[in-house]
Every structure is written in C-alpha cells, then in structure tokens.
C-alpha cells in the first residue's frame, strides 16, 4: 500500500495527465456514459455528476442510490472547487500531515468532503473549470474510476 505522500504525488500526476483541450456539453454526455460503463463491473449503485462553472451538465443516479449520494457529490465538489485538486488528493494531503480537515482549514466537514470521487475538470492553459464526480464506491475506487475514465476519454478523443 502506498504511503499518503506517494499517493499525493501520484494524484498530482493524474491531474497533470487528465487535462482537456476543450470541454462541451457533448463531451459531458459522452464522458458520463463512459463512466457509467466503467462503474458497472463494481456491481454497486453510484451517482455520476459532471459540472462546469457550477452548471450541471450530466447527472445520473443509479437505482439503489439516495439523496445521501447527492450530498456526498455536493461536498466533494465543494472541495475540488475550493482547492483546485481532486477531493482524494486533499484528503490524502491532510492525512500526510497528521491533521483533520477542520484542524487544517477551519472549515466544516458538513460542507466539504475530502474522500475520493471528485476530480477537477481541467482545461489546458485555463485551469479548473468544473468537476467530474462519482459517489457510491469505496473512496479509492470512486477516485480511480473517475481518473482512469477521464484518461481513457482523452486518449480516445486525440
């Protein structure tokens, strides 16, 4: 198992790799549907959410999910929008310092979730413009399915 410091470095490398040259509503639909296909092997119910500049472009809640999943999506997205990094990165970064989120940032976990699953929607030479989020799997799986699917989508698009 990788240490938190190693995990933080690998997540930063993923963020560097997973950058779009452009992103449209059509991309959101295609990426959302690809995410849906990629979560099916887990045999668990998830919510998939893609937002750009606070505007929801794609949202799908599988049977078996609840409002609780939507709340996780909201809190994970708040984390990405505040820090500009994957929610899993923020959580592992804080853990590597031996602190809690509230100790480090004086912010409430009612509004932020530092668990894996929300990934920054990054446009090259622009920066973070939104979020791509999954809620319903173990946090590392939530994170990995999003990062791997973005990488897969970008490589197919080029």
Q: Given this model, what pLDDT does residue 157 score?
A: 86
Task: For residue 140, give every residue at least 6 positions away whose Cβ sits within 8 Å of its Cβ, in sequence order, or none.
Answer: 88, 116
Q: Given this model, what pLDDT does residue 2 score?
A: 73
- What is the pLDDT tens value at each position of the chain, 158 positions in all? 678 888 999 999 999 999 999 999 999 999 999 999 999 999 999 999 999 999 999 999 999 999 999 999 999 999 999 999 999 999 999 999 898 899 999 999 999 999 999 999 999 999 999 999 999 999 999 999 999 999 999 999 87
Question: How many Cβ atoms are within 10 Å of 15's Cβ, its own excluded?
Answer: 19
CATH class assigned to 4-157: alpha beta
Q: Given this model, what pLDDT does residue 130 score?
A: 98
**Helices (H), ranges, 40-130:** 67-83, 87-96, 101-105
Q: Report the predicted TM-score, pTM, of the whole model to 2 decimal places.
A: 0.95
Q: Given this model, what pLDDT does residue 1 score?
A: 61
DSSP E strand stretches across 9-117? 19-20, 47-52, 55-61
- Residue in 132, 117, 147, 148 with CA at minimum distance from that of residue 23: 132
Task: For residue 34, give every residue at least 6 positions away whose Cβ sits within 8 Å of its Cβ, in sequence order, or none.
Answer: 149, 152, 153
139-157 helix and 87-96 helix, angle to the nearest 10 degrees: 130
- Residue in 126, 133, 145, 117 with CA at minimum distance from that of residue 19: 126
């Amino acid at each position: 198992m990788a240490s938190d410091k190693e995990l933080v470095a690998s997540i930063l490398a993923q963020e560097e790799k997973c950058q779009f040259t452009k992103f449209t509503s059509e991309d959101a639909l295609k990426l959302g549907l690809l995410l849906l296909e990629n979560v099916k092997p887990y045999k668990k119910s998830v919510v998939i959410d893609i937002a750009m500049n606070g505007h929801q472009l794609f949202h799908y809640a599988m049977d078996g999910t609840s409002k609780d999943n939507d709340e996780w999506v909201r809190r994970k997205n708040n984390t990405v929008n505040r820090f500009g990094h994957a929610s899993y990165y923020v959580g592992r970064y804080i853990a590597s310092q031996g602190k809690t989120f509230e100790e480090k940032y004086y912010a409430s976990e009612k509004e932020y979730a530092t668990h894996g699953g929300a990934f920054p929607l990054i446009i090259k030479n622009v920066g973070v413009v939104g979020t791509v989020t999954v809620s319903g799997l173990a946090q590392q799986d939530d994170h990995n399915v999003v990062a791997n699917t973005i990488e897969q989508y970008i490589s197919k698009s080029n």
